[in-house]
A and B are shown apart, each in its own frame.
Chain A
C-alpha cells in the first residue's frame, strides 16, 4: 500500500513534469479544529473533496480546539510555513494580525469563483475585510441556542399541536417554565455549563439583548454599562441560586449528558450538539435563544444572541503565489457549495444561496434557528477577544463564580472589569 502510494506519487510528479506543469503535483494542506459532532461531517466533506480532485495532493489535519489550535496556527504562520488554508473563528481575526500572520485572498480568484459579498450577510462579510482586503471567507455562523426535550415539554403543556415549543418570552415566564420542568424531572429544569467560555456566551447574549457595549472601537477603553451588566448577571444568578432551576457548578460534558438522557428539559449551548442528540435518539428540538428582556428583540422577533463564525483563512506563507492559492480557493468554493451538508451538523450556513435552498429548509431542527444568524452578536473586536480567547476565559471565571453563588453579581462584575482593564493595558502582541 505504502509502496503503491509512493509509486503513484512519483508517477504523477513525472507526469506533471512531462506535461510541463509549472508547479509539479499541486499540494493542498488544510487545518481545522472540528473535533465534536461537526468533525464527523467535516471528515465526510473532506473525503468527498479528495475524491473529486484526485489531481491534488490533499491533506487535512484536525487539531485540538481552542488555545492549542490557535497556538500552532499562529506559530506556523509566524514562521511563514503554514498550511495552505485553515479554519479561524471570525472574532479571532484581529488576534491573527491580518497582513502578517494571514495573507489576503486574491481578488481576481474570488471574483472568478463567484465568492462575492452579496452571497453573505453584510454584517458578517464586513468583519472579514481589513484595510480593503478580504482576509476571511465565512463558512457558517454558530449561535448560542436553546434545546428542548419534546417529550418533557409536551407533558408540561409547553408545545403546540405540531410538538413545537410555544413562544416563551420574558425572564419571569421563562423561569416559571423551567421551574415546572424542574418539578417534572426532579433534577433540573434547564441545564447549562458554568465553566470555560460558556458563562461568557450567556452573559454576552443577555447584555447585548440590553444593548450594552463593552469596548470602544479600537479596544483601548472599557465602556461597560454597569447597570445593564448587573441586570444580566442578576438573571444568571437567579437561574442557579435564587430560583435554582439550573445548576451552578456544571461542566459542559455533564450538561450535555443530563439533557441527552432526559434528566433536564432545556439546555443552553451552541448548536453543534445536534449530531450528539440525534445519535442518542433524544427526543429534542431547538429554538433561537429566547428573548429574556422583552421589547429588545429585532423586528423579526429574534432576540440577539452570542455567536461566532467559522471562516476560511490563508495563513501566511513566505512564498505564496496567486496560482498556488488556486487549490485552496477551489476547496473553499467546494465547501460553500456543500453548505447544506455542513449545516446538518448544526451550524447555520454563511453562504446565502444555501440558506434559501429547499434542502436546508427541510433540515429539522437545524433550520429552525437560522434567523439567529442575522442577530448574531460576535465578541467585540480586540486582540484578546473571540472564541477560546483570554477574555472569554476570564469572563467565564468571574461570571461562573456568580452562577455558583460564590461571588455576588457586583463582585463578579468588579473582577471582570479588573481583568478587562489589565487586558486593555497589556501592549498588543500582534
Chain B
C-alpha cells in the first residue's frame, strides 16, 4: 500500500522574507483605530502639555510669551507645590499598605467562606461600584462635626466631637479611611482571582504531608500570590499618587492647604487662576514621579521573578 505523503500547502511554510519589506501589515490595520485614538487623546495632549509648560499660556487667551524653564523655576520656589506634593506623598504612604493588606485579607476570607462567599464578594466589592460623588456625600455626613454619625457615636460614649475633615491631625486619616472603604474592592478582586488560580492539589498534598493551615498560607498561598502583589502594589501606588476627587469633594471644593493634593493645586492654578502654562509644569513633576515609581516597581518585581 502506497503511503501518500500529503503535499504541504505552500501557505503553511512561511515564505522567506524579502529584506526591506515589512512582514505583514494586516495587524497594523487592526491596531490603527486604537493607535489613532491613542495618538489624538494621549500622545498629543502629553506633548502639548510639555510645550505649554514652557510658555505663560493662559486659559483666558491673550498673548503668549516664551518663558523657557521659567515655570519650572517658579515651581521650585513655590511652597504650595511642595506642601501639596507632600500631602500626596503622605496620603500614598498612609493609604497603600492598608489598601493592599485589607484587599488580601478580604480575599482570603471570601475564598475560604463556602456558604457566605457570594455575600462577602458582593459586600466587599460593592462600594467600588459607587461613583465618587456618592462616596464623598456618604462620608461627609459620617464625618460632619456637629451631627455626623461618627461624632454622635463618640458623644454617646462620652467623648468630645472631632472635626474630622478639617482638623489637621485627623484630616488625612479621614480621607484615607474613606478611600479604603471605597477602593479596596478592586484589590480584593485581583487577589481573589489569583487565589482561585492556585491549584487545590497543592493544598491537599501539603495537608496530607501534615502542613498546618498557617504553614500552607505562608509557604504556598503567599509565595504564589507574589506576582499579583506586585501588580496590586504598582496599581495602588499610581492610584494613590493621582488622588484628587475625594479630597476635593469631601472639602466641598475648598480643600485649603490641609489635605490639598498636588492635582488639586494643578486644578486651582490651571482653572481657577487660568495659568495653564504653570499648571502644565506642575503636572509634569507628578508625571515624572509616577513614571519613576512605576518603573522602579516594575524593575524590582521583574528582577526577582522565578519564571
Contact = CB atoms under 8 A, between A and B. Distances in A.
Interface of A: 66-67, 70-71, 74-75, 77-78, 96-97, 100-101, 194-197, 247, 249-254, 257-258, 384, 389-390, 393, 396-397, 400, 404, 406, 422, 426-427, 429-430
A249 B164 CA distance: 10
A396 B167 CA distance: 15
Nearest to B164: A249
B58 A195 contact: no
Interface stretch (B17-25, B44-52, B143-151, B203-211): B143-151
Contacts of B168: 406
Interface string B154-171: 000000000100111000
Contacts of B61: 78, 100-101
Interface stretch (B92-100, B109-117, B123-131, B269-277): B269-277
Most chain A CB within 10 A, of B60, B62, B167, B273, is at B60
- Interface size on B, as a range, is 20 to 34
Interface string B251-276: 11110111000000000100111110
B56 interface: yes
A397 B163 contact: no
Nearest to A70: B272
B59 to A, nearest CB: 6
Contacts of A254: 144-147
Contact of A195 (B59, B60, B251, B272): B251
A74 B59 contact: yes
A202 to B, nearest CB: 15
A390 B275 CA distance: 12
Nearest to B141: A253
B3 to A, nearest CB: 73
B144 A71 contact: no
A88 to B, nearest CB: 13
7 contacts: A77-B60, A101-B61, A196-B253, A197-B254, A250-B146, A396-B254, A429-B274
B254 A195 contact: yes
Nearest to A415: B257
B59 A78 contact: yes
B60 A251 contact: no
A249 B166 contact: yes
B163 A429 contact: no
Interface of B: 56, 58-62, 78, 80, 144-147, 163, 166-168, 251-254, 256-258, 268, 271-275
A404 B163 contact: yes
A317 to B, nearest CB: 13
A253 B140 CA distance: 11
Contact of A67 (B144, B271, B275): B271
Among the interface residues B58, B78, B80, B274, which one has the most CB atoms of the partner chain A within 10 A? B274
A340 to B, nearest CB: 32
B271 to A, nearest CB: 4
A422 B144 CA distance: 33
Contacts of A250: 145-146
A389 B271 CA distance: 11
Q: Which of A66, A67, A96, A252 has the most C-beta atoms of chain B within 10 angstroms of its own C-beta?
A: A67
Contact of A393 (B58, B256, B258, B274): B256
A67 B268 CA distance: 9
Contacts of A251: 144-145, 252
A396 B256 contact: yes
Contacts of A74: 59-60, 274
Nearest to B80: A422
A194 B146 CA distance: 13
A429 B253 contact: no
A71 B78 CA distance: 23
Contacts of B253: 66-67, 196
Contact of A78 (B56, B60, B144): B60
B256 A101 contact: no
Candidate in B58, B166, B251, B271 with the most chain A CB atoms within 10 angstroms:
B166
A180 B94 CA distance: 45
Contacts of A247: 145-146
A247 B146 CA distance: 9
A71 B273 contact: no
B179 to A, nearest CB: 20
A249 B163 contact: yes
B57 to A, nearest CB: 9
B77 to A, nearest CB: 10
Contacts of A96: 60
